[in-house]
């Protein structure tokens, strides 16, 4: 960890706790800042705030009093989930108080370089693949961000021999200033989180922040099959490394004659790759490119791709029950992710779908429901998804209260050889705290069938 004096004796407000806020507050305190923590959860129900108070950090709990902004703070470190139209954040911006997320802190203290991954879909799989490839290649990677430990916690332990592989959301990227990854990746870009960003343009702008400080000494790996990512590349100063599942490239990562290739090298035959799903080839190509740029040998990349079958909650094979195979794709929190899951199977599918209603319709699902023989819905969007199911000609459509009840209902309408797939196409927050909780409930309910 670099010992920096940037925050010594500065008044800093950490807004919102959870893991990132706790870690950021403790780090800033260690760096000599005068830290105040503000969290909406009452102090009596807030063990995180209680722990920070014991360290000598000032805590204010129960609400976000706007008058706090009159106390002369020189910086705000906010929880990524707090939107910029929040009165405290809007007030801080009006007062010209800088607002960052803890990823910026992580970069400032880290001795290790970063490989940073963002995009709409595939971030977690790509991040995990890169970590596994670097690990197999003895490159001493550490994993951080949405997929692992809080970035500013990992950065405190990292040395120059390590590489931090970090998954970043658009929320986190809105709060960076000097953060500069040695390798940045944009997997793909589709409409998402518009309830937070307001417009597609703002969402794209947030994603593009991943390369905003890069120079010709760094790399930006981008999806060459999308105009949105190519547009970001045109404005980047980094060395562009494209990947494509649709066309052969003169340089970068691509598919040729049944092989995945990098520049002029054939790396591995596709048929030997363990990870299912055509959509995962995008993730594999971008991860392979990052690994090659990091000096990983082909043999290490091959070993990972022959063994890696996916991450939890992302098209995760759970088990088979009386000839039915169950897959947990709870991380499919948008329509495109659900489409990718549906396209991965040829067998008849019992689809479990539904969740938070963000105001969108589900017509894009229609062409991909041809293999769905039964549809089990739950959550706020159940009526909308049922409408599309009826339009697709699905004869069996049943609504249940939750995922726990959806599993036995799905089993009742299945036969040996069927796929029972949880791929909600929606966020979980109408019923569950996270998509991980939703997925764990699905897994538990599947095992109860046995």
Residue 384: how many CA atoms within 13 Å on its side-chain side?
A: 20
Minimal CA–CA distance to 215: which of 189, 264, 178? 178
| Contact between residue 399 and residue 437 where contact means Cβ atoms under 8 Å apart | no
Cα-Cα-Cα-Cα torsion 186, 188, 193, 196, nearest 10 degrees, comes to 30
Strands (E), 322-387: 324-328, 349-353, 372-377
Q: Is residue 21 a known part of a binding site?
A: no
- Report whether 119 belongs to an annotated binding site: yes
329 neighbors 337 (Cβ within 8 angstroms) = yes
> Tokens 């200033």 — which residue?
177
- Tokens found for residue 154: 């990992």
Contact predicate 106/151, CB 8 Å: yes
CA distance 365 to 349: 14
Nearest to 383 by CA among 365, 368, 362: 362
Closest CA to 448 of 330, 353, 326: 326
From the CA atom positions of the chain, what is the Rg in Å? 23
For residue 36, say whether it is annotated as part of any ligand binding site: no
Was 123 annotated as part of a binding site?
yes
Looking only at the bridges linking them, the beta strands covering 316-321 and 324-328 are: antiparallel
User: N- to C-terminal Cα distance for the chain?
Assistant: 49
Q: Which residue has the tokens 């670099």?
A: 2
Known binding-site residue numbers? 119-125
Known binding-site residue numbers for ATP? 119-125
């Amino acid at each position: 960890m670099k010992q920096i004096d940037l925050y010594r004796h500065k008044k800093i407000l950490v807004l919102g706790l959870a893991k990132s806020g706790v870690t950021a507050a403790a780090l800033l305190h260690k760096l000599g800042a005068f830290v105040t923590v503000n969290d909406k959860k009452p102090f009596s129900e807030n063990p995180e705030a209680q722990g920070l108070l014991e360290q000598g950090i000032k805590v204010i709990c129960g609400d976000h009093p706007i008058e706090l902004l009159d106390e002369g703070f020189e910086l705000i470190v906010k929880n990524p989930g707090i939107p910029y139209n929040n009165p405290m954040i809007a007030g801080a911006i009006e007062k010209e108080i800088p607002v960052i997320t803890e990823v910026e802190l992580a970069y400032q203290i880290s001795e290790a370089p970063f490989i940073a991954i963002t995009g709409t879909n595939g971030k977690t799989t790509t991040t995990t693949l890169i970590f596994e490839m670097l690990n197999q290649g003895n490159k001493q990677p550490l994993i951080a961000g949405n997929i692992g430990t809080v970035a500013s916690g990992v950065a405190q332990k990292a040395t120059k021999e390590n590489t931090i592989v970090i998954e970043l959301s658009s929320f986190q990227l809105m709060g960076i200033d000097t953060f500069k990854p040695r390798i940045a990746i944009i997997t793909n870009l589709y409409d998402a989180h518009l309830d937070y960003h307001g417009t597609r343009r703002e969402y794209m702008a947030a994603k593009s922040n991943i390369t905003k400080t890069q120079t010709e000494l760094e790399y930006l790996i981008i999806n060459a099959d999308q105009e949105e990512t190519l547009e970001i590349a045109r404005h980047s100063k980094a060395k562009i490394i494209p990947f494509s599942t649709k066309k052969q490239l003169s340089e970068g990562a691509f598919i040729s004659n049944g092989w995945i290739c990098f520049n002029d090298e054939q790396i591995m035959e596709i048929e030997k790759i363990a990870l299912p799903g055509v959509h995962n080839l995008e993730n594999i190509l971008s991860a392979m490119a990052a690994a090659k740029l990091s000096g990983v040998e082909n043999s290490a990349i091959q070993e990972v791709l022959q063994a890696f079958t996916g991450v939890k909650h992302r098209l995760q094979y759970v088990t088979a029950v009386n000839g039915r195979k169950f897959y947990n794709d709870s991380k499919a929190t948008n329509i495109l992710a659900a489409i990718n899951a549906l396209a991965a199977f040829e067998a008849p599918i019992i689809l479990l779908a539904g969740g938070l209603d963000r105001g969108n319709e589900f017509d894009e699902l229609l062409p991909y429901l041809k293999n769905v023989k039964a549809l089990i819905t739950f959550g706020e969007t159940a009526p909308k998804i049922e409408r599309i199911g009826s339009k697709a000609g699905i004869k069996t459509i049943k609504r249940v209260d939750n995922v726990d009840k959806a599993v036995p209902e799905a089993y009742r309408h299945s036969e040996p050889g069927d796929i029972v797939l949880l791929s909600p196409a929606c966020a979980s927050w109408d019923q569950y705290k996270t998509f991980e909780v939703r997925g764990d409930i699905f897994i538990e309910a599947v095992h109860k069938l046995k």
